[in-house]
Chain A
Amino acid sequence: MSGAATVSSSEAHKLVWEGSVPLLIHLHDSEVTTLPPPPPALVLAPRLGYLPLLISQLKPYFSTTLPPGVDTLWFEYRGLPLKWYIPTGVLFDLLCVEPERPWNLTVHFRGYPSNLLLPCEGEDSVKWSFINSLKEAAYVTKGNCKNVMNMSQSDQVELWRSVLNGNLESYQRVSSKLKLGTFEDEYTENISAVSTASQQNSGEADAAAQVKSGRIPVRLYVWTVTEDFDDLESAPQIDNWDKISYINRPVEIQKEDGKYFSLNDAIKSLLPEYFPGSSFDNLGDASTKQSVGDEGENTCDPDSSSLPLENAEIKLVRIQGIEPCLEIPFSWVVNNLMNPEYFLHICVCLKVSEANALQ
């Protein structure tokens, strides 16, 4: 935890926004019409970005060799078509358990698998998906999406451009107007994009409002293993989206006296079926909170809450390519590692018994 405190919030944001994944992109054999085939394209893809946005870099590379037809761009990794609306960094953290650098992907310009993937008509589709997620995040934190719906046209344009170009300053300038605020408690550094007195005041007011509402937009991607793996190379390959449980459910901040709400608590609250003894039960209302009993949430041992019926164990947690210590205050994680649409994306590997495994 001391490691986290030495990185200031502004530094953390910068690192996240500059985060990128080197990709080596191969054109699918069936779409190569020239000899010799074109070499793969080496592209540095922003973590916070989306794969279809790379078309402007890729098209010139492959255009001379493509068969006639209309471009319908899609990517796959080892045969798995990639969901374009998941940020690139999340796809990498999820599907490349042992990080491959560069990450070898196959690109297609033809034969879009529309029975599997949502249609994508270029930048507009990605932008729509982004704004839609932003509205959803606004709804989760504030109970309505008025602030996003009421954005001026120029602000909307600037917001999207800042994400497109990875421009953190420009992004913070526009996004701060949304007042989607930050989840703050006494464990986080106050975040202000601009350190003027007026900004501080509104920041404090937001903080008070934020702690009251207590719902944090989170997207959890869970895959299960039934055996321990010693190193990441021997982790099973995810070759099917059905092997991943996608949980799009807000985390409800629940505070207990004398204890801060940790990342471990947050993840367990989203998976009550695997951690039924956890004192934070997210699926129902607050009134159904179970007794604390033998919970030893202060220890770093993620197994402390398992009951005889379940023995789920958190094996791996990845956020923005980092594997944070599970005892980090969740507020720090939210404030510093969330994506521009105000969602926190978390990739989790759970070890479970055979009967409880996904597929």
Chain B
Amino acid sequence: MDQKESVRDITPWDGTLSSSDFFSAACAFSEKWKRFNAFVPPWLWVPSRKHHLLSSHKEEGYLSLEGMCLIKSSEEQESCRSQTWKEESSISQEEEAVDNATLVCICDEVNHYDFHIVYSPSYRVPVLYFRSYHSDGQPLPFGEIEKDLPDHSAKIRSESKWTFITQEEHPYLNRPWYKLHPCGTSEWMKLLFHGDTALNKNGFVIEHYLVSWFSVIGQVVGLKIPLGMLETLSC
């Protein structure tokens, strides 16, 4: 890599994205996710309400992954507790009876989760919003959500003063959702790309931004990125 060429005209990247870059990054992310995640629902782009009525050269909206069900094993010991995500439509009584790998206590509720990745114009980074509810539609109190989160999530959240869960109104939907606070995101995104300003060339950063971002954020809520997707980061 030509150092002189890479330094010229490229200001140090601050870990943030513009709104239009977010749209490109979202397209790249959802396409990769579909490619590597055959049995999981895709991330869908939801255009923001006012835009779908008007023609615009800017796409504004958010990524949505809905209808994920968290099935927990009924292990007594918390350390043995495993998390399995399943698509809502794939859960059926027969499957539960036959599938030995997923131990479901009959009295355990299946918790449903919806995830949205929404761009924050103030922080210029993506933000993860999520909500959880029982099968009857009743929202879960945070205490129960915390039990659903993987064990290392609490560790990540307590260690990093930046990564914490708050309840705020969804930017588009006028309802309370939970979100992972974005104020530290640009800092650790910079680190993930090793502060390599040369990566700004050819839109590499935009193409891989959400994959990298999700590899961290997903851990907090227990959503894993398949290894294949992560491997696309090193090229």
Contacts and interface: CB of A to CB of B under 8 A. Distances in A.
Interface of A: 83, 85, 114-119, 132, 135-136, 139-140, 143, 145, 217, 241-242, 245-246, 248-250, 272-274, 276, 283-285, 288, 309-310, 355-356, 358
Nearest to A309: B55
Contact of B168 (A118, A245, A310): A118
A79 to B, nearest CB: 15
Contacts of A245: 49-50
A191 B18 CA distance: 32
A114 B176 contact: yes
Interface string B55-67: 1101010000000
Contact of B167 (A119, A136, A140): A119
B139 A272 contact: no
29 contacts: A83-B169, A114-B176, A115-B139, A116-B175, A116-B176, A118-B167, A118-B176, A119-B167, A132-B166, A135-B183, A136-B122, A139-B122, A139-B123, A217-B122, A245-B49, A249-B121, A249-B122, A250-B121, A250-B122, A273-B50, A273-B56, A274-B54, A276-B56, A284-B20, A285-B20, A288-B20, A355-B53, A356-B54, A358-B50
B174 interface: yes
A356 B53 contact: yes
Contacts of B6: none
Interface in B97-137: 121-123
Contacts of A310: 54
Given A145-B183, A241-B174, A273 B18 contact: no
Tell which of A116, A283, A310 has the most Cβ of chain B within 10 Å.
A283
Contacts of B171: 246, 248
B14 interface: yes
Given A273-B54, A273-B56, A276-B56, A139 B139 contact: no
A22 to B, nearest CB: 28
B19 interface: yes
A342 to B, nearest CB: 12
Interface of B: 14, 18-20, 49-51, 53-56, 58, 60, 121-123, 139, 166-169, 171, 174-176, 183
Contacts of B60: 283
Contacts of A114: 139, 176
Summarize B's interface: helix, strand, loop or mixed.
loop
B133 to A, nearest CB: 10
Nearest to A357: B53
Contact of B176 (A117, A139, A241, A285): A117
A283 B17 CA distance: 12
Contacts of B49: 245, 358
Contacts of A242: 174
B167 A248 contact: no
B19 A283 contact: yes
Contacts of B183: 135, 139, 145
Contacts of A356: 50, 53-54
A249 B22 CA distance: 15
Contacts of A119: 167, 176
Contacts of A274: 54
A32 to B, nearest CB: 28
Contacts of B168: 118
A230 to B, nearest CB: 26
A242 B49 CA distance: 10
Contacts of A118: 167-169, 176
